[in-house]
Chain A
Amino acid sequence: AQSVTQLDSHVSVSEGTPVLLRCNYSSSYSPSLFWYVQHPNKGLQLLLKYTSAATLVKGINGFEAEFKKSETSFHLTKPSAHMSDAAEYFCVVSDLNRDDKIIFGKGTRLHILP
């Protein structure tokens, strides 16, 4: 069975400072991992994905995430936060090739302080 844990429900950072959103997963197989972003009153948009290629994955809007198998983590980072980054972020694990589900974390709401 797969699961994903987002360790922080809310994160606040000042504009221009680094962002770190934490995600840990468990999976019986080698999963695919994703980060999605949801802006207020909008649908979900894919930020980046890991599918067993490079462990450091670069996404849109300057975000990146590093897959660390030994730590079962897939934390999302950005060097410098922008006001437009304020949104909710979801870490996702899936292995559809094995007929399993797409499982979402509970989400982390990112607040950007001016």
Chain B
Amino acid sequence: DAGVIQSPRHEVTEMGQEVTLRCKPISGHDYLFWYRQTMMRGLELLIYFNNNVPIDDSGMPEDRFSAKMPNASFSTLKIQPSEPRDSAVYFCASSRGTGDTEAFFGQGTRLTVV
């Protein structure tokens, strides 16, 4: 398996634009997580899914953020409209969630909003 795949690796956008980050989890993993990493706040859990269903989105900073998982092999994190303070590295991770609960991380998407 190629691991968790995120795209794009880098995204630069202007304030006010819509941004969509994409994630393909490892096949067979039931859990998918979106994290945001900044210098100030470290790694924050934004939202996680179990079997494509959002379980906890309490970490989503505000209504400008939304996440979907239309099927077991794809998830998106959307920011509309984007703001400079959204600049961060966004990580997607997946896990089997039973027994071995190790999470496997993608390489991250570095988002810069100017």
Residues of A within 8 A of B (CB): 32, 34, 36, 42-46, 49, 51, 90, 92, 94-97, 99, 101-107
Contact = CB atoms under 8 A, between A and B. Distances in A.
B18 interface: no
Interface residues of B, number: 25
B45 A101 contact: yes
Interface of B: 31, 33, 35, 42-43, 45, 48, 50, 55-56, 91, 93, 95, 97-108
A96 B31 contact: yes
Contacts of A105: 42
B43 to A, nearest CB: 4
Interface centre among A46, A96, A101 (most CB of B within 10 A): A96
Given A44-B91, A104-B35, A104-B45, A97 B101 contact: yes
A97 B107 CA distance: 26
B33 to A, nearest CB: 6
Contacts of B103: 34, 46, 92, 94, 102
- In the complex, the 4 A-B pairs of residues with the closest C-beta atoms, listed nearest first: A96-B97, A106-B42, A104-B43, A44-B105
Nearest to A41: B110
Contacts of A43: 91, 105-108
13 contacts: A34-B102, A42-B107, A43-B108, A44-B91, A44-B105, A49-B102, A92-B103, A94-B101, A96-B95, A97-B99, A102-B33, A102-B48, A103-B45
B32 to A, nearest CB: 11
A68 to B, nearest CB: 20
A45 B99 CA distance: 19
B101 A96 contact: yes
B56 to A, nearest CB: 6
Nearest to B107: A43
